[in-house]
A and B are shown apart, each in its own frame.
Chain A
């Protein structure tokens, strides 16, 4: 049986780890390489680095940071932000990342998912979906550019399409819950998990160790990601894992 994965997310801007509430108001939380090593020692199953300003400014992710992180880590990590071309994917993978996460570029040109999957293998193509509930529609819509631009895609339709095109994993962020610390967006994750035939990473809303219990208890996700609660030591990977073990979950 696969172990449920706990993934600290390091949102990186200009080489520093930051974490915004609902994608705004950033607060510096430290050095990515130092944090990566810390989480590795603490028992993180994986790491995600997102260059949160990359799509907006057309900036590309910092290959040097990736290389330095890869030198210190013996666990897998994913890099996202500013991945727009096959050359971008190749550069990031060659620098030592295991997977790339694509978001805006995939929505602008869905065939990019297929090209990436065909060349590098589905397993290293993570499609990140930023979803926000639309009251009028009664379902979730997908946003791009770090949550600034609404698309016409419904989150469930886009999840299906991304998988059809070759996404190996979906990183699903609830924009409604992100930064709220009141728990993962269970209805959103349930809806995505019902249509996804690839692993789903839950993101957005974790406020305490117990929030991880809920998302796994109902099998709404294969992995759960959080940022600020780990960066600001409101809980720890070890505490989360201990809590999950008490609940009988398979944990590394």
Chain B
């Protein structure tokens, strides 16, 4: 059973409907005791980083998640939910993140190295480029996924599983141990997104 964390800022409905279509059992909760019964958690997210972190700390979801990750249980962050997994963000003001993955979150500069302006947010369908195999991406077809974000993860490490090109390499799927992140919205990414969620469901059930 997958627990979807409801902290007031999630794209809960679309994530949960995607799981329903895939016949993956799930429940939605904001309560640590309830969520502790799940085999894996999804941290969704639509909105601004500081507001999300405020809620996560005020509602005690953060200490719960800290324990969860320390116990090496599967956690998938989606979009803002992925960004929250990193150490910090400069969205509106410098804010500490959950810190499960090394790296920071910065706004797209909007200007290339050559000084050409480009549009922010990175919004629309972009192709995934896979860098290394993982159980999560096994059997997932090549193709486009849907991004909507103005902030991008900067990480120097080998946690990037797949990236997309938007005037720079944009970490799209990240993974370290049992902590996974998807910068795009798998629940809105048609065939490829559904394949990834299906695979996450299979991993959770140990297949």
Q: What residues of chain A have their CB less than 8 Å away from a CB belonging to chain B?
A: 1-3, 5, 40, 45, 67, 70-71, 73-76, 93-96, 98-99, 118-124, 168-169, 196-199, 222-223, 252
Please, which residues of chain A bring their CB within 8 A of the CB of B144? Answer: 3, 252
Is A98 a contact of B121 with CB atoms below 8 Å? no
Is A120 a contact of B123 with CB atoms below 8 Å? no
Query: Does B149 interact with chain A (Cβ within 8 Å)?
Result: yes
Pick from A95, A122, A168: contact of B13, CB below 8 A: A95
Interface centre among B21, B119, B120 (most CB of A within 10 A): B119
Contact with A along B1-42 (1 / 0, CB 8 A): 000000000011110011011000000000000000000000
When chains A and B are docked, how far (Å) is the Cα of A96 from the Cα of B11?
7
When chains A and B are docked, how far (Å) is the Cα of A96 from the Cα of B120?
23
When chains A and B are docked, how far (Å) is the Cα of A67 from the Cα of B123?
23
Seed contacts A3-B124, A3-B126, A121-B150; 18 additional CB < 8 Å A-B pairs: A1-B166, A70-B13, A70-B14, A75-B188, A76-B146, A94-B12, A94-B13, A95-B13, A98-B185, A118-B92, A121-B47, A123-B149, A124-B46, A168-B121, A197-B120, A198-B119, A199-B119, A252-B144
When chains A and B are docked, how far (Å) is the Cα of A99 from the Cα of B47?
11
Is B123 a contact of A123 with CB atoms below 8 Å? yes
Pick from A74, A94, A122: contact of B121, CB below 8 A: A122
Known A-B contacts A45-B125, A74-B193, A197-B119; the reply to A98 vs B47 at CB < 8 A is: no
When chains A and B are docked, how far (Å) is the Cα of A96 from the Cα of B21?
15
When chains A and B are docked, how far (Å) is the Cα of A99 from the Cα of B147?
12
When chains A and B are docked, how far (Å) is the Cα of A197 from the Cα of B123?
12
When chains A and B are docked, how far (Å) is the Cα of A1 from the Cα of B165?
6
Question: Count of chain B residues with Cβ under 8 Å from any Cβ of A?
Answer: 40
When chains A and B are docked, how far (Å) is the Cα of A208 from the Cα of B165?
31
Which B residues from 176 to 195 make CB contacts under 8 A with A?
185, 187-190, 193-194
Q: Tell me the nearest residue of chain B to A223, going by C-beta.
A: B124
Please, which residues of chain A bring their CB within 8 A of the CB of B20? Answer: 71
Is A1 a contact of B126 with CB atoms below 8 Å? yes
Query: Does B80 interact with chain A (Cβ within 8 Å)?
Result: yes
Separation in Å of the A68 CB from the closest CB of chain B?
Answer: 10
Is A96 a contact of B126 with CB atoms below 8 Å? no
Q: Tell me the nearest residue of chain B to A120, going by C-beta.
A: B47
Which B residues from 72 to 125 make CB contacts under 8 A with A?
80, 92, 110, 117, 119-125
Separation in Å of the B118 CB from the closest CB of chain A?
Answer: 9
Please, which residues of chain B bring their CB within 8 A of the CB of A252? Answer: 125, 143-144
Which B residues from 122 to 159 make CB contacts under 8 A with A?
122-127, 143-144, 146, 148-150
When chains A and B are docked, how far (Å) is the Cα of A99 from the Cα of B120?
15
Query: Does B51 interact with chain A (Cβ within 8 Å)?
Result: yes
When chains A and B are docked, how far (Å) is the Cα of A122 from the Cα of B48?
9
Is A98 a contact of B11 with CB atoms below 8 Å? yes
Please, which residues of chain B bring their CB within 8 A of the CB of A1? Answer: 126-127, 165-166
When chains A and B are docked, how far (Å) is the Cα of A74 from the Cα of B150?
22
- 6 A-B pairs within 8 Å (CB atoms) are namely A5-B124, A40-B190, A70-B17, A71-B17, A75-B188, A98-B185
Please, which residues of chain B bring their CB within 8 A of the CB of A119? Answer: 47-48, 51
When chains A and B are docked, how far (Å) is the Cα of A75 from the Cα of B126?
13
Is A123 a contact of B150 with CB atoms below 8 Å? yes
